[in-house]
Homo-oligomer: A and B are copies of this chain.
Amino acid sequence: MSDLLSQISFNEIMAFEKEKRTTFVNSLNGFKTVGLIGTKSKNGQTNLAIFNSFIHIGANPPLIGFICRPSSAERHTLENILETGFFTINHINENILKQAHQTSARYDRNQSEFEETGLTEEYKNDFFAPFVKESRVQIGLEFKEKIEISINNTILIIGQIVDVYFPEEILKADGFLDLEAANSIISCGLDSYHKTKKLKRLSYAKVGKVLETIK
């Protein structure tokens, strides 16, 4: 691979046709966890949608955020969360990759992506929103805050973790969840999916101290 780097400027990005610009900026932003957000309307209509815009907000209390585009197919998810106050995040593994990706199609409000894609609704512990049975890492969340990002009319939704479900073996003594062992996959851009291969864990960085690999 060449040592010299190519340059693309703001004006060149803006001159791309729309799909190319979307693909470019989404992939530039890097690899990220993809998850399925499960919701249910007051009337009992379930919805399932793939998102790749999750963000760690804080651990105390445990909060997860994600960006939602109200003008897109994502609006059904948003409406259900604001109407009922609950949602689930379900990690995606290789076995359910195609079904997960298919949830991004523009189904009608009265169609459930669970039925349309063949994924299975799961209810447990009296939690209102549906989990995805085929997912190996499932998180139930309570809606906490909606923040409008005026610069491009997107919304940051923040939820607080109510319950987490995962295979017992992936929880390490120090609290680390080995998601690679759970086969959670990641995405890049809007349509590329990847497995991960662990390099190492590194010790807490301190000034003047040599880093060690955590076994």
Contact = CB atoms under 8 A, between A and B. Distances in A.
Contacts of A18: 60
Given A35-B30, A211-B102, A97 B199 contact: yes
A163 B8 contact: yes
Contacts of A179: 27, 30-31, 188
Contact of A205 (B65, B104, B206): B104
B56 A53 contact: yes
**For this complex, into which size category does the number of interface residues on chain A fall?**
35 or more
B199 A2 contact: no
Interface in A81-100: 91, 94, 97-98
A24 B167 contact: no
Interface in A15-38: 16, 18-33, 35
A5 B175 contact: no
